[in-house]
Structure 1
Amino acid sequence: MAPIRLAIVGLGKIARDQHLGAIEATDGIELVAVASRHARLDGVACFHEIGDLLDSDVEIDAVSLCTPPQGRFSQAKAALDAGKHVMLEKPPGATLSEVYALEALARRKGLTLFSTWHSRAAAAVEPARALLAKRKIRSVAVEWKEDVRHWHPGQAWIWEPGGLGVFDPGINALSIVTRILPEEFHLTRSELTFPANRAAPIAASLVFETDGGVPVSAEFDWRQTGPQTWDIRVETDEGSVVLTHGGSRLFVNGESVIVEEDKEYRNLYRDFVALVMKGAIDTDFSPLVHVADAFMLGRRIQTAAFED
């Protein structure tokens, strides 16, 4: 079959760091166009806005949206209305109502909508899920701390309403936990730390509980310098199961089981090709639901102003 003709919308840091290389390494898909307000890419058709792309004579089958979540709804809706399959960078949108509306539209149109969670595609996630399905879980503790100045230099949108603040990385942790735990869980307490000059939190302390009463805690912080921390520790009746390095490494009872290089985005594009070929939809919005709950239950704590 002919490869899927793909357009990227939003040629920023994440697109250049992850998407371009992953597309090139994936069979069954090729990049033919880009829509970006501030960047161009040699060798493909380039447009300023997605509307210009969709109105052009360039033939595409699918769109990968790598833009900030604010405003993404109108872009995704335009692509679906034009009959294009859509892949959403995480988080899938700025609100729950808009992502569920997109899911309903994709189903009505018979198109693929893929809400991606790149951390779920890390090497240790599925092995950890299979292992935990066989054990009795005692507790879960998440520690996800990184340096916002390193990962998001000059990106003002993350501090605006809908940008999620520290939940931009924190939702990666939640995407793993919602995948590996055999039980559903819900939020019981949320403390959100906001810089005095920002509309989104720089840190979050969350407490959850599973349907069976297992405690789940999560600490997110964007102020950590030096080595970064992306760890999920699960205590079970047979010892510890620990995912580190964002889900790419797995330790069982202190012994290293899996250590693998980053292939997350290659795995995502492989899955997108398969979904389009099957005419299927993959829209698990549960990580975004937990983030929305954190804002709804969040007790606000103010801290010093943050300057990039």
Structure 2
Amino acid sequence: MTIRAGLLGLGKIARDQHLPAIEKTAGIELVAVASRNAQGEGVNNYPDLDAMLAGEGDLDAVILCQPPQVRYAAARQALLAGKHVFLEKPPGATVSEVDALVTLAKAQGVTLYASWHSRYAAAVAQAKAWIAERAVRSIDIQWREDVRHWHPGQPWIWEPGGFGVFDPGINALSILTEIVPEPVTLLSAELDVPENKQAPIGAALRMATASGAAIDAVFDWRQTGPQTWDIAVETEQGSLLLSEGGNMLRLDGEVQMKAPDEEYPAMYRRFVDLVAGGAIDVDLAPLRLVADAFLCGRHCPTATFED
């Protein structure tokens, strides 16, 4: 069976990642787009989800790429219509609303997939296997990028529910919670919030594994020039460095793997398999850590930031 899919929210991430990935993936076909301000090529176009569901009677799945603040209502509507749902990360603005979607998907007997694209970076699986055989001493995460480059003209990221710097930072947390074989808890957080914004532009997190290994993470949206997406792991039997967002792996300083970014095609292959098996895949561990940071983090006012 080929999944007939409709995509809601044709913005930058959808054009850059979702459309090419769907084109590459056997078993799924994009047949419709719903977007207020954009048109998809070679598919049926609608102004909103209501119109798309009404106009596409044989639609199998809905892919949600709009901002997290409005994703819950759309996901709920699609699930109630009996559609499988693919959620761009983060899966929602709150933990409780995603929990509610899982309950609804189970009741409807359809697939719900909370995608974490960084977990599908080329070297993540190998890093996970290497760490599983060693005792972790410490982990250092440096996730620094330029918000003006990655989110031009997107004011929603600075509003409540928009996550601010945790929009990219949650990618690091998704890798962390994938490669570490025990629970991770947040100990403290400092959030740098510009005077003219509602969400942080920088964050420093102190975390720990269940066995007590220290984890420090710095997320920053003010870095220009080369971008930094690194996770360094020290163990009793050597060191590991994941860089380039998880697509390069070094062990004790020696490059073991470097591969191009194929994260989104891998996620769509996973979605096709989930639908075929009637399964649900929703891991909330990265979102819970972000929620904890907002819950107990110390807010540190910082300079006004102009997009």
Normalised by the length of structure 1, the TM-score is 0.99
How far apart in 2 are the matches of 1:126 and 1:72?
Answer: 29
Matching residue's letter, 1:189: S
Structure 1, unpaired ranges of 5+: none
How far apart in 2 are the matches of 1:92 and 1:290?
Answer: 14
> 3-state DSSP class of the match of 2:68?
coil
Does 1:258 find its partner at 2:279?
no
Residue in structure 2 matched with residue 152 of structure 1 by the alignment: 151
> 3-state DSSP class of the match of 1:46?
strand
> 3-state DSSP class of the match of 2:107?
helix
List structure 1 runs of 4+ shifted beyond 4 angstroms.
none
Which string of whole-angstrom CA distances, capped at 9 and with x for unpartnered residues, describes residues 197-229 of structure 1? 000000000000111011001000000000000
How far apart in 1 are the matches of 2:188 and 2:142?
Answer: 16
Q: How is 1:57-76 mapped onto 2 (pairs within 5 angstroms)? A: 57-76=56-75
Which string of whole-angstrom CA distances, capped at 9 and with x for unpartnered residues, describes residues 158-211 of structure 1? 000000000000000000000000111101110000000000000000000111
Residue in structure 1 matched with residue 117 of structure 2 by the alignment: 118
Residue in structure 2 matched with residue 230 of structure 1 by the alignment: 229
Which string of whole-angstrom CA distances, capped at 9 and with x for unpartnered residues, describes residues 92-128 of structure 1? 0001110000000001111000000000010111110
How far apart in 2 are the matches of 1:148 and 1:116?
Answer: 22
> 3-state DSSP class of the match of 2:69?
coil
Say if 1:119 and 1:247, in contact at 8 Å, map to a contact too. Answer: yes
How far apart in 2 are the matches of 1:123 and 1:35?
Answer: 31
In the TM superposition, residue 57 of structure 1 has moved relative to its aligned partner by: 4.0
Tell me the percent identity.
58
How far apart in 2 are the matches of 1:275 and 1:252?
Answer: 33
Residue in structure 2 matched with residue 8 of structure 1 by the alignment: 7
Does 1:201 find its partner at 2:192?
no
Which string of whole-angstrom CA distances, capped at 9 and with x for unpartnered residues, describes residues 217-251 of structure 1? 10000000000000000001111111000001100
Structure 2, unpaired ranges of 5+: none
> 3-state DSSP class of the match of 1:204?
strand
How far apart in 2 are the matches of 1:269 and 1:213?
Answer: 36
Matching residue's letter, 1:81: L
How far apart in 1 are the matches of 2:136 and 2:41?
Answer: 51
> 3-state DSSP class of the match of 1:108?
helix
Say if 1:45 and 1:58, in contact at 8 Å, map to a contact too. Answer: no
Residue in structure 2 matched with residue 103 of structure 1 by the alignment: 102
How far apart in 2 are the matches of 1:96 and 1:237?
Answer: 35
Does 1:246 find its partner at 2:236?
no
How far apart in 2 are the matches of 1:56 and 1:4?
Answer: 17
> 3-state DSSP class of the match of 2:125?
helix
How far apart in 2 are the matches of 1:57 and 1:26?
Answer: 21
How far apart in 2 are the matches of 1:125 and 1:208?
Answer: 20
Q: Is 71-80 or 51-60 further displaced after alignment?
A: 51-60
How far apart in 1 are the matches of 2:57 and 2:257?
Answer: 43
> 3-state DSSP class of the match of 1:60?
coil
How far apart in 2 are the matches of 1:46 and 1:254?
Answer: 50
Residue in structure 1 matched with residue 220 of structure 2 by the alignment: 221
In the TM superposition, residue 59 of structure 1 has moved relative to its aligned partner by: 2.1
Q: Is 50-59 or 298-307 further displaced after alignment?
A: 50-59
How far apart in 2 are the matches of 1:113 and 1:159?
Answer: 27
Which string of whole-angstrom CA distances, capped at 9 and with x for unpartnered residues, describes residues 265-295 of structure 1? 0000000000000000000011000000000
Q: For the aligned residues, what is the CA RMSD?
A: 0.6
Q: How is 1:8-47 mapped onto 2 (pairs within 5 angstroms)? A: 8-47=7-46
In the TM superposition, residue 43 of structure 1 has moved relative to its aligned partner by: 1.0
Q: How is 1:247-286 mapped onto 2 (pairs within 5 angstroms)? A: 247-286=246-285
Q: How is 1:51-62 mapped onto 2 (pairs within 5 angstroms)? A: 51-62=50-61
In the TM superposition, residue 56 of structure 1 has moved relative to its aligned partner by: 1.7
Matching residue's letter, 1:18: Q
Residue in structure 1 matched with residue 300 of structure 2 by the alignment: 301
> 3-state DSSP class of the match of 1:70?
helix
Does 1:131 find its partner at 2:125?
no
Matching residue's letter, 2:303: A
Does 1:80 find its partner at 2:76?
no
Aligned residues: 307
Matching residue's letter, 2:7: I
Residue in structure 2 matched with residue 177 of structure 1 by the alignment: 176
